[in-house]
Amino acid sequence: MSINHLRHIINGESIKGTCERDFDIYNPAIGEVTTKITGASASDTAKAIAVANEKFGEWSKVTPSKRAQIMFNYRELIIKHTDELAELISKEHGKTLADAVGEVGRGLEVVEYCTSINNHLKSDFTADVSTGIDSYNLRQPLGVCTGIVPFNFPAMVPMWMYVVAIACGNTFVLKLSEKVPSCGLRLTELMHEAGLPNGVLNTIVGDKEAVDEILSNEHVKAVSFVGSTPVGEYIYQEGCRHNKRVQALCGAKNHMIVMPDADLEQSTDAIIGAAYGSAGERCMAISVVVAVGDETADRLIESLSPIIKSLKIGAYNEAGVEMGPVISKESQQKILSYVDAGVKAGAKLVVDGTSVSENSEGFFIGGCLFDNVTSDMSIYTDEIFGPVLCIVRVSTYDEALTLVSDHEYGNGTAIFTRDGDTARHFTSHVQVGMVGVNVPIPVPVAMHSFGGWKRSLFGSSGTHGMEGIRFYTQLKTVTSRWPSGIRKGAEFHFSSGKDV
């Protein structure tokens, strides 16, 4: 098989990296390297940042309407190239084509949101805060913004970042995941085709060396990160130490509470899609079901088990495939070791999909289901990021609520019930950032904002929606008076609107 060689895109040009490390990119369904790239070194990264810094003055003066026009063009191009983008995602990530098409669609929503960037940047104006004096706000871009992204959403997560930042008038350096770079590079080419001037979006592929340059470079004003919690915590602390604005969206352990009155069929379908879709490699995947009452747990296990055993596992381009491989051999081994740890800790492995991993060169693992999981087990405390679902049995709703709220992660959660009072109590009291009521993966649409709580997000801003606009802009408040106002002489006291 011939190997495809990729290059970085800096100032609209295709550039070979100068890092000492080459990255191998696999097709995880066959376990083979299909693509390679020489990583971006610290100096390549500094060059991308310097270009973005140089272009900022010009780009920030382009009117929001003209920037929106580019987003309209970009929208058309993404729609036209959706199948191609989805194939690039699936080939390197392993998720099914239908799932990859869905991911491109979620990224597209952000582009659509930014076609009306004028609307989101409009400001407040107050006439006559004092006699002849008006006050108003401006939302202005920051300068060079940057994005460091994970492997599991090669299109959607980068689009949460650069699309909003650029629409707000910033320039951008995007550091793609070294495991799945092809789609992000192609999206960058399409952005240029849409009319974006060279140097506004610069896309590199690198590891810690590139990230450390981003975190310490004096021209970088903001860092957006999505990835695992230990790396996110490091990025948040280092970025803040260098006085950058930082948002770091991190790991998760998402619980779904199933109340005794929940619709069993609806709950079963929801759990299957949310736990095993994308092989469990979603930050909003359901990895814990909290069953309220033994009868609820028994009924769920009875309905879930045959479906999990019959999941069609295979490569993204096989007909009818429901679940693909996980991203790498290391990831597969890590997931298998968690299953082992769960059994040793005393949880009951009701469905054991581990043997699937023995029958292929690809990084496959079958769906696993644990019952009788307790909160001290590593399969409960840790993010496994694979197709492993834990059932925790509790007796009451209050116990379920406490369990969810006490977990160190607080990304997403859901409750399945027919009772409005319980649902309302849950949505108001649970200590988690994104909550679903009979919706298993409550990923907010682009006009709302995405972000977790606790160790699922460091910093105070989520992505897209108004949170995203606020993150990529700074507020300026102007108080203005024109010479025709009344002359009162110098004022030595601190004046207020009540003064004439």
Cβ closest to ligand NAD, residue 139 vs residue 255: 255
**Which tokens is 90 given?**
């699936």
Q: Fill in the per-residue mask, 215 to 254: x = in contact with ligand NAD (CB under 6 A), - = not in contact.
A: -----------xxx--x-----------------xxxx--
Task: Using CB positions, name the residue nearest to ligand NAD.
Answer: 227
| 371 contributes a contact to ligand NAD by CB under 6 A | no
| 363 contributes a contact to ligand NAD by CB under 6 A | no
Q: At what angle do helices 264-276 and 294-309 cross, to 10 degrees?
A: 50
Judged by CB under 6 A, how many residues of this single chain contact ligand NAD? 27
| 17 contributes a contact to ligand NAD by CB under 6 A | no
Phi/psi of residue 475, nearest 5 degrees: -90, 135
Closest Cα to residue 9, out of 247, 222, 196, 225? 196
Q: Smallest distance from the beta carbon of 331 to ligand NAD, in angstroms?
A: 8
| 38 contributes a contact to ligand NAD by CB under 6 A | no
Q: Smallest distance from the beta carbon of 229 to ligand NAD, in angstroms?
A: 6
Query: Of how many residues is the chain composed?
Result: 500
**Under rule CB under 6 A, which residues in 299-318 are in contact with ligand NAD?**
none
Cβ closest to ligand NAD, residue 151 vs residue 380: 151
| 370 contributes a contact to ligand NAD by CB under 6 A | no
| 183 contributes a contact to ligand NAD by CB under 6 A | no
Cβ closest to ligand NAD, residue 85 vs residue 457: 457
| 26 contributes a contact to ligand NAD by CB under 6 A | no
| 148 contributes a contact to ligand NAD by CB under 6 A | yes
| 151 contributes a contact to ligand NAD by CB under 6 A | yes
Cβ closest to ligand NAD, residue 288 vs residue 350: 288
| 90 contributes a contact to ligand NAD by CB under 6 A | no
Contacts (Cβ under 8 Å, ≥6 apart) of 456? 229, 249, 250, 251, 252, 283, 409, 410, 411, 433
Cβ closest to ligand NAD, residue 349 vs residue 404: 404
Cβ closest to ligand NAD, residue 148 vs residue 257: 148
| 383 contributes a contact to ligand NAD by CB under 6 A | yes
Task: Measure the N-to-C terminal CA separation of the chain; round to a whole number of Å.
Answer: 81
| 272 contributes a contact to ligand NAD by CB under 6 A | no
Interface pick for ligand NAD out of 90, 115, 152, 449 (rule CB under 6 A): 152
CA distances from 439 to 152, 430, 443 (A): 21, 16, 9
Interface pick for ligand NAD out of 26, 56, 276, 385 (rule CB under 6 A): 385
Interface pick for ligand NAD out of 142, 283, 288, 368 (rule CB under 6 A): 283
Catalytic residue among 19, 114, 250, 283: 283
Cβ closest to ligand NAD, residue 77 vs residue 447: 447
Q: At what angle do helices 97-114 and 82-93 cross, to 10 degrees?
A: 130
Q: Between the CA atoms of 85, 90, 92 and 95, what dihedral angle is there, to the nearest 10 degrees?
A: 140
Q: Fill in the per-residue mask, 448 to 477: x = in contact with ligand NAD (CB under 6 A), - = not in contact.
A: ----x---x---------------------
> What is the SS3 assignment for the chain?
CCCEECCEEECCEEECCCCCCEEEEEECCCCEEEEEEECCCHHHHHHHHHHHHHHHHHHHHCCHHHHHHHHHHHHHHHHHCHHHHHHHHHHHHCCCHHHHHHHHHHHHHHHHHHCCHHHHHCCCEEEEEECCEEEEEEEEECCEEEEECCCCCCCHHHHHHHHHHHHCCCEEEEEECCCCCHHHHHHHHHHHHCCCCCCCEEEEECCHHHHHHHHHCCCEEEEEEECCHHHHHHHHHHHHHCCCEEEEECCCCEEEEECCCCCHHHHHHHHHHHHHHHHHCCCCCEEEEEEECHHHHHHHHHHHHHHHHCCCECCCCCCCCCECCCCCHHHHHHHHHHHHHHHHHCCEEEECCHHHHHHCCCCCCCCEEEECCCCCCHHHHCCCCCCEEEEEEECCHHHHHHHHHHCCEECEEEEECCCHHHHHHHHHHCCCCEEEECCCCCCCCCCCCECCEECCEECCCCECHHHHHHHCEEEEEEEEECCCCCCCCCCCCCCCCCCC
Q: Smallest distance from the beta carbon of 149 to ligand NAD, in angstroms?
A: 5
Cβ closest to ligand NAD, residue 52 vs residue 351: 52
| 153 contributes a contact to ligand NAD by CB under 6 A | yes
| 99 contributes a contact to ligand NAD by CB under 6 A | no
Q: Is 19 a catalytic residue?
A: no
| 155 contributes a contact to ligand NAD by CB under 6 A | no
Cβ closest to ligand NAD, residue 70 vs residue 187: 187
| 200 contributes a contact to ligand NAD by CB under 6 A | no
Cβ closest to ligand NAD, residue 96 vs residue 267: 96
Q: Fill in the per-residue mask, 388 to 427: x = in contact with ligand NAD (CB under 6 A), - = not in contact.
A: -----------------------x----------------
The region of 117-125, 205-213, 358-366, 391-399 touching ligand NAD under the rule CB under 6 A is 205-213
The contact set with ligand NAD (CB under 6 A) reads 148-153, 157, 175, 177-178, 207-208, 211, 226-228, 231, 249-252, 283, 383, 385, 411, 452, 456
Residues annotated as catalytic (active site), given as ranges: 283
